[in-house]
Amino acid sequence: MSVHLSLHGAQVKQFKNALQCLNKIGSELLVEAANGKLVLRTISTSKSAFFAVTFFASFFDVFNIVDSEVVQTGVLLKHVLATFRTKAIARYEIQLDTARSQTLVCVQTDIGLSKRYRIECLQADILQATVDVDSFPTKLVAEVGELGRALGTT
């Protein structure tokens, strides 16, 4: 069971911003790829906060799920964010391989430099938060960048 994703240009920045927002809530990234979408989730260590970001297949240049309808795994967010330290990323590719329990990230820069990162997958339970929307009168809708700025201020 594996997933292959590819991004370039502004998509890379948006993906990075979403991961940085998730990192403000929790340290583990729970990944679920199914039905033409990628869902990234995290939960705080005290289990008091839950955050999920959904990317549809149309967001990616390449979105392929192989040998399964649903792929679920977990990785540490700090390891994934470390792959974004490279400046001027032109292409960002992710291969999740749950059979080998690893994630391969390939980063290509504008000047032709190519870096590969191997990230070990965690045994993590994929969480489904259930919220009764009628119980909460407030609804928050925000762009990734705006949400990142809001979470960054104290």
Give residue-wise pLDDT tens across range 100-145: 999 999 999 999 999 999 999 988 766 666 666 677 666 677 888 8
Containing structural domain, residue 97: 2-152
- The whole-angstrom separation of Cα 63 and Cα 52 is 19
Closest to 94 in 3D by CA, of 73, 120, 63? 63
Residue 53: pLDDT above 90? yes
Q: Give 139 or 28, the one with higher predicted confidence.
A: 28
pLDDT 10s digits, 1-17:
789 999 998 999 999 99
As to burial, measured by CB atoms within 10 angstroms (0-12 exposed, 13-18 middle, 19+ buried), residue 60 is buried
DSSP-derived pairing of the beta strands 70-76 and 62-66: unpaired
Q: How far is CA 133 from the centre of its chain?
A: 25
Separation of alpha carbons 6 and 103, rounded Å? 13
Question: Which CATH number fits the domain that encloses residue 128?
Answer: 3.70.10.10
Mean pLDDT for the stretch of residues 29-48: 90
pLDDT, residue 144, reads: 82
Domain count, the chain: 1
pTM across the whole model: 0.80
Give pLDDT, residue 46.
Answer: 86
